[in-house]
């Protein structure tokens, strides 16, 4: 091969590398930046989102997703409303309260069909039902909507509310202490500290919101394909997370090294055993999807409690157009 031929081949190779670099750069620039604000520090309850991130499902949808860790004062609704984030995690009642206050957010998918929130008591506690809370003190986060529901439904005249400090320290020290919890979290830490906790699930009382992820209502109208891509990738992540949590848990522990494998295994098993994510198909639950009658029931309950006055259209607070892949009774198209 003469010198001229070699030179031409080098030029062709260099041109090819240049074109590949430009193409890659354009592809990266084309990926739209999206931020998800979670409701707590990285944990298994966020597993589907991290699975989708690690597996590249968001990237395949043309999205460059950043997951923003939350905490005791996550304020996901405010972050989404002020465009500090594009999607946020919360519950049905968070979205309804936001709309009542004129904050135009819309739920677009369900991370959990049923809420793992509950009231944690000691195993030997005489509190065996919600009615047994009468005359007792319960540590609850300020603004928690389900607490006034319990007060009204079970006619609790003398129950007292105390500010929850997001710790199990007081619970472990005091056999009479009662506090709110996530079944997937606090009972583990209480058990590790030597206590024997027992949990009354709020959903068993009839107050049964979805755990949801939401966005700005304007984004649904302006960029429906972006929302569709994010929802589809997220729900795929949640389905696969239930089958194998390994990839998500590896990523979560990188971001939250305080989590032990034992705690993550406990949370994952609780999510599966209680069917929080997938729900009960016999009752019409579809993973990720919504049913209109449940939104209506939640809306009516919160109006009866006086938490909201219903000064907005319920149809503005949620949509199933992205998450309801199969038609379910009462679902909104």
Instruction: Verify that 108 and 122 share a domain, yes or no.
Output: no
pLDDT at 143: 87
Assigned domain for 4 exists: no
Q: Are residues 109 and 224 in the same domain?
A: yes
Q: Based on the structure, what is the number of domains in the chain?
A: 2
pLDDT confidence of residue 22: 40
Q: What is the mean pLDDT of the chain?
A: 91
Q: How far is CA 287 from CA 136, 137, 237, in A?
A: 37, 36, 11
Find tokens 């949509």 and name the residue.
319
- Per-residue pLDDT at 12 exceeds 60: no
213 and 197 within one domain: no
Query: Do residues 104 and 215 make contact, with C-beta atoms less than 8 angstroms apart?
Result: no
pTM, two decimal places: 0.87
**Residue 248 included in any domain:** yes
- One domain for residues 48 and 133: no
Give residue 67's domain range.
Answer: 31-113+209-316
Q: Is the pLDDT of residue 225 over 50?
A: yes
Secondary structure letter of residue 203 according to DSSP? G
Contacts of 205 (CB under 8 A, 6+ apart): 130, 146, 149, 150, 153, 154
For residue 157, the model assigns a pLDDT of: 97
Q: Tell whether 107 and 222 lie within a shared domain.
A: yes
The H-or-E segment that residue 119 falls in is strand 117-122
* Structural tokens at position 78: 């405010």
Average pLDDT over every residue of 88-107: 97
Of 169, 187, 205, the residue that ends a domain is 205
Q: Which of 12-21, 54-63, 284-293 has the lowest mean pLDDT?
A: 12-21
Note the pLDDT tens digit of each residue in 128-138. 999 999 999 99
pLDDT greater than 60 at residue 4: no
Between these two residues, 267 and 18, which has the higher pLDDT value?
Answer: 267
- Residue 162, SS3 per DSSP: strand
Whether 13 maps to a domain, the answer reads no
The C-alpha atoms of residue 316 and residue 333 are separated, in whole angstroms, by 13
pLDDT at residue 89 in the model: 98
310 occurs within a structural domain: yes
The pairing of beta strand 87-91 with beta strand 211-216: antiparallel
**Measured between alpha carbons, how far is 226 from 128 in angstroms, rounded to an integer?**
47
pLDDT at 8 over 60: no
- Report which of residues 17 and 216 the model is more confident about: 216
Q: Domain boundary residue among 181, 205, 229? A: 205
pLDDT, position 166: 86
Same domain, 127 and 218: no
Using alpha carbons only, what angle is made at residue 281 by residues 275 and 282, rounded to the nearest 5 degrees? 115
pLDDT at 1 exceeding the cut of 80: no
Which pLDDT belongs to residue 30? 73
223 shares its domain with 306:
yes
Give the domain-ending residue among 158, 173, 205: 205
Residues 241 and 256 in one domain: yes
Least trusted range by pLDDT, from 32-41, 185-194, 259-268, 322-331: 322-331
20 in a domain, yes or no?
no
> What whole-number distance in Å separates Cα of residue 115 and Cα of residue 180?
13
Mean pLDDT of 83-95: 97
What are the backbone dihedrals phi and psi of residue 37, each rounded to the nearest 5 degrees, phi first?
Answer: -95, 115
189 with 253, same domain: the answer is: no
For residue 297, being part of any structural domain is answered with yes
Tokens 């198209």 correspond to 333
Task: Determine contact, residues 136/161, Cβ cutoff 8 Å.
Answer: no
Q: What are the distances in angstroms from CA 233 to CA 62, 64, 205, 210? A: 10, 12, 33, 19
58 and 186 together in one domain: no
Are 268 and 124 in the same domain?
Answer: no
Q: Does a structural domain hold residue 296? A: yes
Residue 231 lies in a domain: yes
Give the domain CATH number at 143: 3.40.190.10
Higher local confidence (pLDDT), 13 or 245: 245
Q: What is the pLDDT of residue 3?
A: 52
pLDDT for the residue numbered 328: 35
Choose among 34, 97, 39: nearest CA to 234: 34
Average pLDDT over every residue of 159-175: 95
């Amino acid at each position: 091969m003469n010198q001229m031929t070699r030179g031409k081949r080098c030029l062709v190779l260099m041109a090819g590398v240049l074109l590949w670099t430009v193409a890659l750069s354009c592809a990266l620039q084309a990926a739209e930046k999206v931020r998800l604000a979670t409701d707590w520090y990285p944990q298994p309850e966020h597993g589907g989102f991290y699975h989708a991130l690690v597996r590249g499902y968001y990237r395949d949808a043309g999205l460059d997703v950043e997951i923003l860790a939350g905490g005791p004062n996550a304020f996901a609704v405010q972050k989404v409303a002020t465009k500090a984030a594009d999607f946020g995690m919360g519950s049905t009642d968070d979205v309804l309260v936001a709309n009542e206050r004129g904050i135009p957010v819309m739920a677009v998918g369900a991370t959990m069909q049923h809420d793992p929130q509950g009231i944690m008591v000691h195993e030997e506690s005489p509190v065996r039902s919600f009615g047994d809370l009468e005359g007792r003190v319960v540590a609850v986060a300020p603004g928690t909507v389900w607490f006034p529901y319990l007060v009204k439904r079970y006619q609790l005249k003398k129950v007292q509310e105390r500010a929850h400090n997001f710790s199990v320290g007081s619970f472990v020290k005091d056999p009479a202490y009662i506090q709110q919890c996530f079944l997937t979290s606090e009972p583990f830490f209480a058990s590790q500290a030597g206590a024997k906790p027992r949990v009354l699930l709020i959903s068993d009382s009839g107050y049964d919101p979805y755990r949801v992820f939401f966005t700005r209502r304007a984004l649904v109208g302006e960029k429906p394909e972006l929302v569709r891509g994010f929802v589809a990738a997220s729900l795929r992540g949640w389905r696969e997370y239930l089958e194998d949590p390994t990839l998500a848990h590896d990523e979560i522990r990188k971001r939250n090294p305080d989590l032990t494998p034992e705690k993550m295994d406990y949370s994952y098993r609780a999510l599966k055993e209680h069917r929080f994510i997938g729900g009960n198909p016999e009752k019409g639950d579809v993973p990720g999807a919504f049913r209109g009658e449940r939104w209506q029931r939640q809306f009516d309950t919160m109006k009866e409690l006086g938490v909201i006055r219903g000064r907005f259209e319920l149809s503005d607070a949620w949509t199933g157009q992205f998450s309801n892949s199969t038609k379910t009774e009462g679902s909104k198209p």
